[in-house]
């Protein structure tokens, strides 16, 4: 599966650079220029900084993407093996270079294109229509403000335009479609001879000298990891929480001391009528003037007393609010564009503004209501304060219980003394582990990173201080500690000899397979060659790529796609193939091409052509990005990844 993830990652690396927002809702922070080089910088590109925060946010969104795609199969170890941190850095670098190149090519996104792109995003729609309130809620949930997000959408549009520009000359010929079709859907029958190490193992002997040398060369295979035996005790927050009492005075005191957290910013509720200039007009200035005249006409009608809501429904050009009579709901400062915001907050209740020009067009705003800055009342926030006080008291009580054990744990000379120290308090839970390593998943202490970090740094007979975890406060004492080591040969003699015999048997099997392959390459008939230890020649039967594994042999096809590249003119597979510990030499016995008539199906042909086009596009884009990187000075501070 990991190989499949790697292949998908390669294509997604290009995807995330050219159009990622629409597909996976990955948000990109703008990389600010002119900042002092400091610990907040993770890389520089031609002297321009890439900020650590942007890298961290993108890395986390990549992790979230893969976890959502592969569920529980995607682990931290898999992310490390995929080198996801470096792939994330590559995406950031490539995107910065691509956008810079776009600017030099004069490629840019218009305000209208950005607005249309946002309005089309499903995340911002309610009942199939763009909804301004939903838009603001989704951005807030992702800790984003409209301005930076709209800049990002613009960059995304530019990336798409760059992609189209670079790949516009990529074509897929009929011959390429035919070749790909034949390669993808052909069926093959392989004959094979297998060389199983088990056939050689029975007659393989290993002397003590050979076994000792094997141990010297392969010491890491026999390494015993660091192991500790620990006595532990802890006070659980959950056990204590139910007994915690909070009175009214405590609630009030906490509220008064943290009043700054309950401030409410000023908010306004408004509606508007937006008139947009015609975005694709040849004369943009004339289009802008026409939009202004239309807005002025609507303003005159409002001043004469016509209904604002009715005019908004009929004439407003904001798809999110027009159907609701222009209503935008409540919003605070920092949500709308500056020109709109300044006007809205300056109006009195029910007052109608003059024309307000923003990058979106001309607005007429009516203030429906406003809330001044204030403070949430205690009754509004009492549940959250009570929960916080209970949490704090439970933690303090747990800490008090465990800290009382620090001296007894330090002075205890054996496990019996430790048991006596913890027996007095019914709120203390305790236990003793066997010797375990960091891989001992059955040991509860390994469920906490804080405990795991501490326990393997402690010496024998050393006691810890109180250690805070998500579930409670712990204290530990190491009863025994066995350092990482390779046991003496005599301690593991049987295991070393067995491993050395297996190694010699594998070498013998692979050598005989190579000998067989050499004979066939030299012109001898596959079925007439006889080599020691080989199985009888067998056949797989016809199979295609859809089989996923090669019949009989059991090896995965996706990892050995070269099997489908051999033909009847050159039928021998050019190397020994290992599958499940057995070494195979293979030769094509029969080949059945798919019916070419299927390519006459227009829909199927189109799908094949589209898939090939995407592959060729990704290759061209990858080569273009490589060219940009080769012409740039890129410094990555790997220690900050």
Write the CATH number for 149.
1.10.4030.10
Same domain, 216 and 231: no
What does the alpha-carbon distance between residue 338 and residue 356 come to, in Å, rounded to a whole number? 11
Beta-strand ranges (E) seen in 254-360 are: 263-264, 267-275, 327-332, 352-358
Count of CA atoms in the C-beta half-sphere (13 A) of 561: 8
Instruction: Give the pair of three-digit tokens for residue 142.
Output: 């992702």
Residue 542 has pLDDT above 50, yes or no: yes
Same domain, 335 and 402: no
Residue 279 pLDDT level (bands cut at 50, 70, 90): low
Question: Buried b vs exposed e over 351-376: b needs ≥16 C-beta within 10 Å?
Answer: ebbebbebebbbbbbbbbebeeeeee
Residue 604 has pLDDT above 80, yes or no: yes
Please check whether residue 258 lies inside any domain of the structure: no
Segments forming the whole domain that contains residue 26: 2-171+616-640
Instruction: Give the pair of three-digit tokens for residue 132.
Output: 């301004």
Please check whether residue 384 lies inside any domain of the structure: no
Residue 28 has pLDDT above 80, yes or no: no
Same domain, 33 and 126: yes
Please check whether residue 133 lies inside any domain of the structure: yes
151-171 pLDDT per residue, tens: 888 888 888 888 888 898 999
Same domain, 149 and 237: no
Same domain, 237 and 364: no
Q: Are 350 and 367 in contact (CB under 8 A)?
A: yes
Residue 73 has pLDDT above 80, yes or no: no
Same domain, 165 and 204: no
Q: Enumerate the β-bridge partners of residue 363.
A: 274, 356
User: Domain ends where: 482, 517, 537?
Assistant: 482
Mean pLDDT lowest for which of 23-27, 201-205, 287-291, 613-617?
23-27
- % of the chain surpassing 90 pLDDT: 48
Residue 49 has pLDDT above 50, yes or no: yes
Summarize the confidence of residues 266-284 as an average pLDDT: 84
Same domain, 109 and 202: no
Residue 253 has pLDDT above 80, yes or no: yes
Number of domains the chain contains: 4
Residue 57 has pLDDT above 90, yes or no: no
Output the pLDDT for position 280: 63
Q: Report which of 619, 625, 624, 620 is spatially closest to residue 94, judged by C-alpha positions.
A: 625
Residue 30 or 96, more confident:
96
Same domain, 91 and 128: yes
Count of CA atoms in the C-beta half-sphere (13 A) of 74: 17
- Per DSSP, the residues of 330-394 read EEETTSS-HHHHHHHHHSPTT-EEEEEEETTEEEEEEEEEEE-SEE--HHHHHHHHHHHHHHHHH
The dihedrals phi and psi of 129, each to the nearest 5 degrees, come to -120, 145
Residue 34 pLDDT level (bands cut at 50, 70, 90): very low
Please check whether residue 181 lies inside any domain of the structure: no
Same domain, 219 and 297: no
- Residue 324: CB partners within 8 Å, gap ≥ 6? 271
Same domain, 434 and 568: no
User: Domain ends where: 482, 506, 530?
Assistant: 482
Please check whether residue 89 lies inside any domain of the structure: yes
Residue 629 has pLDDT above 60, yes or no: yes
Write the CATH number for 348.
3.10.50.40
User: Domain ends where: 455, 482, 509?
Assistant: 482
Summarize the confidence of residues 513-520 as an average pLDDT: 96
**How far, CA to CA in Å, does 405 sit from each of 66, 285, 429, 473, 477?**
44, 79, 12, 11, 11
Residue 17 pLDDT level (bands cut at 50, 70, 90): very low
Please check whether residue 385 lies inside any domain of the structure: no
What does the alpha-carbon distance between residue 33 and residue 51 come to, in Å, rounded to a whole number? 10
Write the CATH number for 420.
3.10.50
Summarize the confidence of residues 180-191 as an average pLDDT: 92
CA 474 to centroid of chain Cα atoms: 33
Please check whether residue 382 lies inside any domain of the structure: no
Same domain, 240 and 281: no
pTM above 0.75, yes or no: no
Helical (H) or strand (E) element with 560: none
Q: Are 37 and 51 in contact (CB under 8 A)?
A: no
Output the pLDDT for position 318: 83
Summarize the confidence of residues 467-479 as an average pLDDT: 93
Summarize the confidence of residues 57-62 as an average pLDDT: 82
Positive or negative, the CA dihedral 122, 125, 130, 131 is negative
Output the pLDDT for position 433: 92
Q: Are 26 and 61 in contact (CB under 8 A)?
A: yes
Q: Are 405 and 476 in contact (CB under 8 A)?
A: no
Q: Enumerate the β-bridge partners of residue 389.
A: none
What does the alpha-carbon distance between residue 86 and residue 46 come to, in Å, rounded to a whole number? 19
Same domain, 106 and 148: yes
Output the pLDDT for position 351: 94
Helical (H) or strand (E) element with 233: strand 227-236
Three-state secondary structure readout of 402-451: HHCCHHHHHHCCCHHHHHHHHCCCCCEEEEECCCECCCCCCCHHHHCHHH
């Amino acid at each position: 599966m990991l190989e499949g993830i790697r292949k998908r990652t390669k294509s997604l690396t290009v995807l995330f650079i050219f159009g990622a927002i629409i597909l996976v809702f990955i948000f990109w922070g703008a990389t600010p220029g002119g900042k002092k080089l400091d610990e907040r910088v993770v890389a520089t590109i031609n002297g321009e900084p890439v900020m650590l925060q942007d890298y961290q946010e993108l890395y986390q969104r990549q992790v979230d993407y893969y976890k959502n795609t592969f569920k529980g199969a995607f682990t931290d170890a898999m992310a490390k093996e995929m080198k996801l941190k470096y792939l994330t850095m590559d995406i950031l670098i490539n995107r910065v270079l691509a956008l810079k190149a776009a600017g030099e090519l004069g490629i840019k996104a218009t305000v209208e294109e950005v607005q249309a792109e946002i309005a089309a995003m499903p995340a911002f729609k309610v009942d199939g229509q763009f909804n301004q309130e939903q838009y603001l809620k989704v951005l807030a949930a992702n800790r984003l403000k409209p301005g930076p997000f709209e800049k990002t959408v613009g960059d995304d549009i530019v990336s798409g335009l760059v992609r189209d520009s670079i790949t516009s000359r990529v074509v897929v010929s009929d011959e390429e479609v035919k070749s790909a079709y034949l390669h993808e859907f052909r069926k093959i029958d392989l004959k094979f001879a297998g060389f199983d190490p088990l056939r050689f193992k029975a007659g393989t002997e290993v002397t003590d000298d050979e076994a000792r040398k094997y141990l010297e060369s392969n010491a890491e295979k026999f390494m015993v990891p660091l192991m500790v035996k620990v006595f532990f005790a802890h006070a659980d927050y959950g056990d204590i929480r139910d007994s915690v009492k909070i009175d009214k005075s405590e609630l009030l005191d906490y509220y008064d001391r943290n009043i700054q957290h309950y401030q409410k910013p000023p908010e306004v509720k408004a509606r508007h009528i937006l008139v947009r200039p015609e975005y694709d007009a040849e004369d943009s200035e004339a289009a802008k003037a026409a939009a202004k005249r239309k807005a002025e006409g609507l303003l005159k009608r409002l001043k004469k007393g016509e209904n604002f809501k009715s005019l908004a429904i009929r004439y407003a050009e904001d798809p999110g609010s027009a159907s609701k009579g222009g209503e935008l709901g409540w919003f605070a400062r920092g949500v709308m564009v500056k020109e709109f915001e300044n006007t809205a907050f300056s109006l009195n209740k029910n007052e109608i503004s003059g024309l307000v020009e923003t990058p979106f067009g001309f607005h007429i705003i009516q203030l429906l209501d406003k809330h001044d800055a204030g403070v949430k009342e205690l009754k509004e926030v009492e549940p959250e304060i009570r929960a916080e006080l209970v949490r704090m008291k439970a933690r303090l009580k747990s800490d008090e219980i465990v800290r009382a054990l620090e001296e007894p744990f330090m002075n205890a000379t054996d496990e019996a003394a430790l048991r006596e120290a913890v027996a007095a308090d019914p709120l203390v839970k305790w236990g003793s582990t066997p010797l375990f390593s960091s891989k001992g998943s059955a040991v509860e202490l390994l469920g906490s990173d804080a405990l795991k970090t501490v326990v393997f740094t402690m010496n024998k007979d050393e006691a810890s201080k109180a250690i805070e975890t998500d579930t409670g406060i712990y204290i530990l004492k190491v009863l025994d500690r066995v350092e990482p080591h390779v046991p003496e040969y005599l301690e593991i003699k049987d295991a070393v000899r067995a491993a050395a015999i297996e190694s010699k048997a594998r070498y013998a099997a692979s050598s005989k397979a190579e000998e067989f392959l050499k004979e066939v390459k030299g012109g001898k008939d596959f079925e007439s060659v006889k080599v020691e230890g080989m199985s009888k020649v067998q056949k797989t039967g016809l199979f295609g790529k859809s089989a996923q594994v090669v019949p009989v042999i059991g090896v995965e096809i996706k990892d050995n796609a070269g099997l489908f590249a051999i033909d009847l003119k050159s039928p021998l597979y050019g190397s020994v193939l290992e599958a499940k510990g057995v070494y195979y030499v293979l030769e094509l016995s029969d080949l059945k091409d798919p019916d070419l008539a299927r390519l006459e199906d227009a829909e199927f042909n189109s799908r094949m052509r589209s898939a090939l086009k995407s592959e060729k596009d990704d290759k061209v884009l990858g080569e273009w990005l490589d060219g940009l990187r080769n012409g740039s000075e890129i410094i990555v501070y790997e220690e900050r990844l």
